[in-house]
Structure 1
Amino acid sequence: MSTLGLTTMSNYDFCTQWVIDNADSRQIRVLDYGCGGGEIVKLLRDREVEAFGCDTFYEAATYSELDNSALLGTIIVKMEENKIPFPDNYFDFLVSNQVIEHVEDLDTTLTEFQRVLKPGGQFLTIFPDKSTWREGHCDIPFLHWFPKQSTPRIYYTLLLRSLGMGSFKGNKSPLEWSQDTCIWLDKWTYYRTPAEIYSQYSARFSEVRSIEVDLLQKRLGSRYQKISWLPKSLQQSLTMKFAGRAIVARNL
């Protein structure tokens, strides 16, 4: 099956292409877990793949692209109590983009992945872990390394915010933004170590492997040639430090 034909790829494109590349045909069923505005669902359906999405639609996220979407309520459905609202053994593939760091109970989530995937079904998750240097929700590096509810991180955030760093600042004062950012991270993010993640994934799934180099290559497109000479281990490490993890696993 052909590629998307893009010079560079977004994570949405990458997830879409990963499904296409690993499917024997388009006669498959795919779930985007934590689908947000449904971008991946739409990309897959544009390619005649039977794709669905689910999300909690939690208060800290925005879903403006779904306001007038014909997909909402039928193709994209709301999750309740961390349960994926689809039958057992229903999907051939599952993808999840920038969601796992928002999951409080990873064991329950992986149990649900296992339940809705067919035997031998595969899933791809892209997300930051504890080792990532950049906190991508606010662009304050290493902020997620501080203990939750600790006071020093507020002043650390304020210092870097005063130096011009940070994103989604709105009209808030530097101190207000720093306080609100730390509160948001406390409430909505759960960063885990690579060892914790691998342990939980490998306990339930087979062929657990990292594909950060592939993600880097596809995201950079033609620009990848400038760094292609670097050892693959270094490319993987840099991707993990600045962007996060890309992990593939297969259901038993």
Structure 2
Amino acid sequence: MHDTDAEHIIKQQIYIISHFMKNDSIGKSKILDLGCGNGDVVNAYRKRGLECYGCDFEFKPGSNVQILEERGWIKKLPIDNYQIPFEDGFFDLVVTNQVMEHVQDYDRTLSEVRRVLKNGGVVLHIFPSRFRPIEPHINVPFAGIIQYYWWLKLWALLGIRSPKDDKGLKASEIADKNHRYLLNCTNYLGKKDLIKYFSKYFSGVHFCEKEYMATTRKGPFVHRISKYVPAIENIYSSLRTRVIVCIK
């Protein structure tokens, strides 16, 4: 992730969060980027003078990883005994970006987020929806809901590949790899289940796709249309991106 990408992400996050927190409160907040990857978003917040930390099971390659880890600004999550390595009520704000579709244990994850969040704190989750026409990790149509091996092999035979795939792999090998990935590394929940889990741990649960659309590079036009066609917001939420804000 380049700095420009990280800057765009935090602009999106701050814009959405500003509907629930005052800007001066955001500036004084302790922020957790859960699933921080290579720490670029943490670094971008720090450059703005905000106190931001990050956690992940493994850090992705990046130019800032070593110094961020040395300063204690990004920390690894334990794999066996999942616990966010911060004390109770440490954060005012927790953000995740393209993370929740990977969470296998919602109860454990959300209970930990609640634990490290202050009373009145805000959580923002942005992640791909279950019905997105092209599953973003393996590029297979509707693989968020159709995860049968035969479906994945069909598209592999038609030449559908992730940019990360070895071009020399056979269709059956691509299908095997994609099938394992979807079963072990993704968990696409429907809206009812999302509401059920988030409501269990937070008093306020808000779907904020309309606010998110206003911040995307191609979204302002769609956002303007949504003022006259409210259904577009629900269509975007179902077929593109879920944006959920929770209040403790």
- Residue 237 of structure 1 aligns with which residue? 234
TM-aligned CA deviation for residue 201 of structure 1: 0.5
Alignment partner of 1:171: what SS?
A: coil
Contact 2:120 2:247 in 1 (8 A): yes
- Residue 3 of structure 1 aligns with which residue? none
Please give the residue correspondences for 1:34-49 in structure 2 after superposition, counting only pairs within 5 Å: 34-49=35-50
Deviations 1:136-173 (Å, cap 9, x if unpaired)? 112212112124xx4322323324x42x5643333233
- Residue 121 of structure 1 aligns with which residue? 121
Deviations 1:172-221 (Å, cap 9, x if unpaired)? 33512232122222221111111101111112212211111111111136
- CA distance in 2 between counterparts of 1:155 and 1:135 reads 15
Counterpart check, 1:169 vs 2:170: no
- Residue 195 of structure 2 aligns with which residue? 198
Greater relative CO (CA pairs within 8 A, separation 6+) = 1
Paired residue total: 235
* Aligned AA (1:50): E
Q: 1:127 to 1:179 in 2, by over 3 A?
A: same
Structure 1, unaligned runs of 5 or more: 1-5
Structure 2, unaligned runs of 5 or more: none
Q: 1:79 aligns with which of 64, 77, 80?
A: 77
- CA distance in 1 between counterparts of 2:149 and 2:9 reads 34
TM-aligned CA deviation for residue 75 of structure 1: 0.6
- Residue 31 of structure 2 aligns with which residue? 30
Of all paired residues, the percent bearing the same amino acid is: 27
Q: 1:68 to 1:190 in 2, by over 3 A?
A: closer
TM-score (normalised: structure 2): 0.84
TM-score (normalised: structure 1): 0.83
Q: 1:224 aligns with which of 220, 231, 246?
A: 220
- Residue 158 of structure 1 aligns with which residue? 156
- CA distance in 1 between counterparts of 2:191 and 2:222 reads 28
* Aligned AA (1:15): Q
